[in-house]
Amino acid sequence: MATKLSVNVNKVATLRNSRGGREPNVLDAVGVCLAAGVPGITVHPRADERHIRRSDVLDIAALLKVHADVEYNIEGDPRPDWVELVQLVKPTQATLVPVRPGEITSEAGWPASADLRQTVRAIKACGTRVSVFIDATLPAVEWAAGQGADRIELYTEPYARAFAESREQAVRVFEQHVACAERAHALGLAINAGHDLDLENLVLYRTLPQLAEVSIGHAIMSRALFVGLERVVREYLDVLIV
């Protein structure tokens, strides 16, 4: 099974919003990704709209209508306006991500005390696949299965930090992710992953059993500043061809 790449275009919107106006244009960035052959696009419209806005979500949805083979993944916390937006757009996938006050980016997966079952049912009812963002622990996998999710997204920042320290530490953390992936697969859950994956640490991580999709944004956009977005997307697609 080939692992799909979903490019997160949040950072393009962050740069646009820092100045105002329309440039860099998020739709242009999506177009470049599509031209490079990417099979998925991810956005995370936060309540404060500090990067992706509701209008971006709708504009991308309209563009992807003529690209039926490209998956659209909308991330977010299950606040009412986000759920309504997902129900309106009916993307391929909705990824439920916890949000902590004041965070710059996602910092952890859902706690096992969270009850997302009603939200999961509401989203699945409109034909959208549901993934939940979790830490790489077996209890979290069991919790996700109990919520009725279709997939989990393993939070990979701890793996990325370990990889930056040493190969030994990376392998140790990666083995925890392997155990979670194997348990998730046994429970009927598909496996996604994301957060701080890059061209180097992805080489090991792509071997995760049953890895369906990786969502990558920051590393792609950072490198794209120097060598161009289309080239970087193609580099990541090449890495995922095992």
Point out the catalytic residue in the list 75, 153, 177, 213: 75
Contacts 24+ apart (CB under 8 A), 113-119: 114/143, 115/147, 116/78, 116/147, 116/149, 117/146, 117/147, 117/148, 119/78, 119/83
pTM for this prediction? 0.95
What is the total count of domains within the chain? 1
Catalytic-residue membership of 75: yes
Q: Is 207 helix (H, G, I), strand (E, B) or coil?
A: coil
pLDDT in tens, 61-91: 999 999 999 999 999 999 999 999 999 999 9
Point out the catalytic residue in the list 51, 153, 195, 213: 195
Mean pLDDT of 186-194: 98
CATH number for the domain spanning 159: value is: 3.20.20.70
pLDDT in tens, 5-53: 999 999 999 999 999 889 999 999 999 999 999 999 999 999 998 899 9
pLDDT in tens, 116-172: 999 999 999 999 999 999 999 999 999 999 999 999 999 999 999 999 999 999 999
Q: Which domain holds residue 138?
A: 4-239
Cα distance between the two ends of the chain: 9
Catalytic-residue membership of 195: yes
Is residue 104 over pLDDT 80? no
Distance, CA of 222 to CA of 203 (rounded, Å): 18
pLDDT of residue 242: 63
Distance, CA of 35 to CA of 31 (rounded, Å): 6
pLDDT in tens, 191-209: 999 999 999 999 999 999 9
